[in-house]
Structure 1
Amino acid sequence: MSHALRPTPSRRRFLAGGSVLAAGLALPALGAHAQSSRPVLKAGDQKGGLRALLEAAGALDGLGYDIQWSEFPAAAPLAEALNAGAVDSGPIGDAPLIFALAAGTRVKAIGANRSDAYGTAVLVRPDSPLRSAADLKGRSVATNRGSIGHFVTLKAITAAGLQPGDVNLRFLPPADAKLALTQGSVDAWATWEPYTAMAETAGHARVLVSGRGLLPGLSYLAATDAAIAAKRPVLQDFLQRVSRAQQWANRNVAGYSATLARIIGISPEAARLQFERRQQAWVPIDERVIADQQATADFYAKVGLIKAPLQVAGTFDRGFALAG
């Protein structure tokens, strides 16, 4: 995995548009030193992710540290940034986290989020003759390698009795994959929210197979080992702010959806659709979370996406508490 990081256009916009947020009170755990030299959290994000949530909820008030945001279009470049130490922390799905860990990225999951997996889906054009996962045999599917889109594709076709080699996977980032689908150069696109809702509400695609019943709906806030060692109080505060912001959003669906649409530049219809059906909640890292993550790792080993079995228990740091 390369350590060279090429910012995407969206990432450049975030960096050029004032990427450091600073306000308020110092964290008690950081002491007087923080008042003269504030810590900086290098926070990675994905489209529709944490920054929009925190800003909409007003959860960035009173920070005792600065946040330097970097946005990525998908988990793979975010994982690369974590591996390179370019970011300290970021949101990442269960499958891409396993892919990153198997590649040697030194990160741990410090918070777990569980949601309805419907929007992690294999999409086809509205006029496509394909009607089920079994119809994907011999067809081309665009997705990111190691992503939750890759994961849902493999889960869907194996549940239908097919083998991984029965489909032609084309590894493309979301924007290129969407274009390939709409132009007809691939038969399907496996993706996640908010891309699924964006494609549906624009009339560009329909869901062929959803992740509901196939995936555990887990994603994580991951942090590098180095950041956990050096910035643990900052990461703890950040996770609790994220957790509180999610609780606020769940109580204020209409307002949050409108703000989300404006912040990340998608239609209000797509913002509300993807938010309402995900039903996200930050949950403790318990034995069920670990068992679900282990099952995902075992599946990736079974289909050959990782070279050796991965025991996931050690890839969690369970010392971080959620907001009450």
Structure 2
Amino acid sequence: MSNVTSLSRRAALGVLSVTAASWWPVSRANPLPLRIGFQKGSINLNITRSLKLVEQRLPGTPVQWVEFPAVPQLLEALAVGSVDFGAVGDSPPVFAQAAGKDIVYVGAEPPKPDTSALLVREGSPLRTLAELKGRRIALQKGSSAHFLLVQAVKAAGLKWSDIQPVYLAPADARAAFERGAVDAWSIWDPYYAAAEIDGKARPLVTSRGLTSNNSFYLASRGLVQQEPVLRQLFAALTDADAHVARHRADSAKQYAEFSGLGLATVLRVLDRRPRSPVGPLSAALVAEQQKVADAFHELGLIPKAIRVADIVWQPA
């Protein structure tokens, strides 16, 4: 895939996706809706939605918010042009790019190394990463928790074949974890916080020192052509982050009501979540994401080597 820096030239040649062909710039009358995909775990997006910050930043542009149960469905919708914008962790876009999905990295939040962990049950005898050898470990395949486990196994001096990964969605993984069907669980907030608050889990390790646990914003190719719209989206998300910092208690209550999580769980999530303004990807972030892609390729978990920079938006 050619570099995203050539998108304007490709647009001139008419080599655009269906989404680009249908996208209405904000300067035109009766624009089509800006479709934003989100999940319950995306704090910035959920606060932005509840405060109508995008609508304030882009007056006159209809905004549709589309909720997804998990990242794979969101990425598929982005790739086929069903939504224009969404947030994901570090690993899902690697798997999507390797599968040939038409997506573009456009923005990122600062690292959050304390917001995911490898959990064991409170009474577990496991105390070190080396003791993971031969153990059954639950995780969502292709998620940020997948890369955390890859790094944890490496840090322990083990091989991937030394463990028994059990690929489960978070809800199923928690059930398996609590009944003892797996020995450990690699997971992110808010599931991590909920397991801690319930008193049934403790972190064997967090991501700190293993992964940065980065969060990215991806867009359809049509939206990439509209830099002013992207800039306003970043500003709205950054406004939401500032609102959370200034109004922590109210934001926690609002997020708890929407997500169905307990207030104590939400407060724990916010306690270890750093300030998270949104902006374009730095060269350092692209390089770090390339390491994620290379790690999965070395293990044979993606079918081919990929170059992350090929699908990173470069602002004018």
- How high is the TM-score relative to the length of structure 2? 0.84
Deviation of residue 151 (structure 1)?
Answer: 0.8
**Partner residue of 2:211 out of 212, 215, 227:** 215
Which residue in the other structure is 2:248 paired with? 253
C-alpha contact 1:114 1:218 (8 A) present in aligned 2: yes
Aligned equivalents of 2:149, 2:136: Cα separation in 1:
11
Aligned equivalents of 1:195, 1:164: Cα separation in 2:
24
Are 1:266 and 2:261 counterparts?
A: yes
Specify every segment of 5 or more residues in structure 2 that has no aligned partner in the other structure, as ranges: 1-24
C-alpha contact 1:144 1:172 (8 A) present in aligned 2: yes
RMSD: 2.1
Question: Which stretch shows the higher mean deviation, 107-116 or 62-71?
Answer: 62-71
Deviation of residue 316 (structure 1)?
Answer: 1.0
**Aligned CA distance change for structure 1 residues 95 and 83 (closer, same or farther; 3 Å):** same
Letter in 2 for 1:53: I
Alignment of 1:111-150 (within 5 A): 111-150=107-146
Question: Which stretch shows the higher mean deviation, 107-116 or 278-287?
Answer: 278-287
Are 1:311 and 2:307 counterparts?
A: yes
Are 1:103 and 2:96 counterparts?
A: no
Deviation of residue 298 (structure 1)?
Answer: 1.7
Which residue in the other structure is 1:5 paired with? none
**Partner residue of 2:40 out of 11, 23, 47:** 47
**Partner residue of 2:62 out of 66, 77, 80:** 66
Deviation of residue 254 (structure 1)?
Answer: 2.4
C-alpha contact 1:122 1:153 (8 A) present in aligned 2: yes
Aligned equivalents of 1:71, 1:129: Cα separation in 2:
39
C-alpha contact 1:74 1:174 (8 A) present in aligned 2: no
Aligned equivalents of 1:32, 1:283: Cα separation in 2:
26
C-alpha contact 1:253 1:276 (8 A) present in aligned 2: no
C-alpha contact 1:47 1:74 (8 A) present in aligned 2: no
Aligned equivalents of 2:47, 2:265: Cα separation in 1:
15
Deviation of residue 280 (structure 1)?
Answer: 3.7
C-alpha contact 2:55 2:62 (8 A) present in aligned 1: no
Deviations 1:49-100 (Å, cap 9, x if unpaired)? 1442214555245343222222223322222222333222210111111111
Question: Which stretch shows the higher mean deviation, 202-211 or 246-255?
Answer: 246-255
Alignment of 1:1-324 (within 5 A): 30-33=26-29, 37-49=30-42, 50-57=44-51, 59-62=53-56, 63-229=59-225, 232-281=227-276, 282-319=278-315
Letter in 2 for 1:54: T
Higher relative contact order (CA 8 A, sep 6+): 2
Letter in 2 for 1:168: Q
Question: Which stretch shows the higher mean deviation, 190-199 or 38-47?
Answer: 38-47
Deviation of residue 176 (structure 1)?
Answer: 0.9
Deviation of residue 279 (structure 1)?
Answer: 0.4
Letter in 2 for 1:46: Q
Deviations 1:176-215 (Å, cap 9, x if unpaired)? 1111111221112211111111111122322122101111
Aligned equivalents of 1:85, 1:182: Cα separation in 2:
39
**Identical pairs, percent:** 35
Aligned equivalents of 1:177, 1:253: Cα separation in 2:
30
Deviation of residue 142 (structure 1)?
Answer: 1.3
C-alpha contact 2:36 2:63 (8 A) present in aligned 1: yes
Aligned equivalents of 2:279, 2:35: Cα separation in 1:
23
C-alpha contact 2:121 2:200 (8 A) present in aligned 1: yes
